[in-house]
Amino acid sequence: MKAAAMSPFHAAVAVVDSSAVGQARRLATQVADEAGLDETQRGKVAIVATELANNLAQHARDGELLLNAGVVRGRGCVDVLAVDRGPGVPDVGRCLQDGYSTAGTAGTGLGAVRRLAARFDMYSRPPEGTIVFARIMGNNRSDADGGRFEWGVVCRPAPHEMECGDIWRTAEQAERLVFMVVDGLGHGPRAAEAARAAGAVFDRDPFTSPRALLDEADVGLRSTRGAAVAAASIDLTTGMLSYAGIGNIAGVLYGRSKDGSRRGLVSHNGIVGQKMRTVQEFDFACGGPNLLLMHSDGLQSRWSLDAYPGLEQRHPGVIAGVLYRDFRRDRDDVTVGVVRIHARERRDE
């Protein structure tokens, strides 16, 4: 596993009843192995997955447990995301207290998850449903965030596909973070092959400029069917975000400084790997606090955070989970990535 970046590993379990809990625990252990977590942390991941799967089986409708291996500032981590479509939690604060239960259980599930996780957050709106996010860090470290950036991602293959034609990458270095989303043309194994080729280009030099990254990917994907690719590079020493994209990757930068602006980030038409047109790189001020959202076209374009009171303040993993649940297209791979950019002034105090 590289310190700067790694190939994310994903798994998911549909939780319709208690028979899925054992599968969730086994997959969670596998994902923790992929993330390079030690035995103690792997045990935490297994417990968190078990508790959240149990919670979905007992209380939720259309429950799904998503597992994701990644890297936060050079250390492996596992994100566990519980997603459901109802009935929702009327009193989130009360449900986190040990002893509270609506199903006759001991009522320690969510409280235990919060204690075990380095980062925990949840969002619920009855009757629409609930999103619960828990991050377990490697190397027995508890500071899941604490840097200039927080991020969360959901990445899932098209229904009935074993391989995902989307991939994502992130790399962080002091005051800088680079985030990339790739959507291989179509879906299935050949789309996944194209996406992996783009990921390999990123892994070789994640801190090159977005324009250079896409130029190199165009060469690296010539033997594949090609892909849509977009990359954002955030540099807080200059307060700028640089962005370049080709194909149907959407990017939005939310600002909450003076004007609360929402800026669409431009991706041009074309296919990376098919002699694409000249890449344009655009620069945007992003001194913070800001939210960067990027997604493949497996997510519908008509979403709005304004429809979810308080969601913008939640952890990026929770935001990605809500958008995935409510706006995923039924027939395509999907990736939703959210990055929170903290204001330097607040972090330097």
The most confident of the ranges 73-87, 243-257, 265-279, 314-328 is: 314-328
Q: What is the pTM of this model?
A: 0.91
Radius of gyration of the chain (CA): 19
**Residue 99 falls within a domain, yes or no?**
yes
| Pair 163, 59 in one domain | no
pLDDT tens readout for residues 136-192: 998 755 555 557 899 999 999 999 898 999 999 999 988 999 999 999 999 899 999
Q: What is the mean pLDDT of residues 302-313?
A: 94
For residue 278, what pLDDT band results from cuts at 50, 70 and 90?
confident
The DSSP result for 246-267, as a single string, is ESS-EEEEEE-SSS--EEEEP-
- pLDDT at res. 345: 55
Q: Are residues 59 and 38 in the same domain?
A: yes
- Higher pLDDT: 201 or 138? It is 201
Of 137, 161, 184, the one marking the end of a domain is 137
Q: Examine residue 96 and state whether it is found in any structural domain, yes or no.
A: yes
101 shares its domain with 208: no
Once rounded to an integer, what is the mean pLDDT over residues 40-47? 95
* Helix extents (H) in 80-227: 92-95, 109-116, 189-204, 210-220
Q: Which domain holds residue 124?
A: 9-137
Do 198 and 229 lie in a common domain?
yes
The first and second tokens of residue 192, run together, are: 């996944």
Can you tell me whether residue 63 is helix, strand or coil?
strand
Strand partners, 79: 68, 135
Same domain, 162 and 130: no
One domain, residues 88 and 16: yes
- Report the alpha-carbon distance of residue 316 to residue 321 in Å, rounded: 8
Residues 218, 337 within the same domain:
yes
Domain identity same for 121 and 202: no
Residue at 3 is within a domain: no
Q: Within 13 Å and on the Cβ side, how many CA atoms surround 221?
A: 34
CA distance 160 to 345: 47
Q: Is 282 helix (H, G, I), strand (E, B) or coil?
A: strand
Residue 95 lies inside a defined structural domain of this protein: yes
Q: Is the pLDDT of residue 130 over 90?
A: yes
**Domain termination site, one of 96, 116, 137:** 137
CATH of the domain at 318: 3.60.40.10
CB 166 within 8 A of CB 182: yes
HSE, side-chain direction, 13 A CA sphere, residue 339? 30
pLDDT at 257: 46
Residue 339 lies in a domain: yes
Is pLDDT above 50 for 111? yes
pLDDT in the model for residue 346: 44
Domain annotation covers residue 274: yes
pLDDT at position 80 over 50: yes
Looking at the fold, whether 122 and 184 belong to one and the same domain comes out as: no
Give yes or no: residues 130 and 160 share one domain.
no
- Rounded Cα distance between 181 and 1, Å, is 20
- 24 and 63 in a common domain: yes
Count how many domains the chain has: 2
Q: Does residue 158 share a domain with residue 283?
A: yes
Q: What is the pLDDT of residue 103?
A: 42
For residues 218 and 273, give the distance between their C-alpha atoms in angstroms, rounded to a whole number: 4
For residue 97, the domain's CATH number is 3.30.565.10
Is residue 2 assigned to a domain?
no
Where b means 16+ CB within 10 Å and e means fewer, 53-74 reads bbbbbbbbeebbbbbbbbbbbb
Q: Is 17 domain-assigned? A: yes
| pLDDT band with cut points at 50, 70 and 90 for residue 349 | very low
Is the CB of residue 122 less than 8 Å from the CB of residue 94?
Answer: no
CA 54 to CA 23: how far, in whole Å?
Answer: 11
pLDDT at 92 over 90: no
Domain boundary pick from 117, 137, 157: 137
Report residue 107's pLDDT band, with 50, 70 and 90 as the boundaries: very low
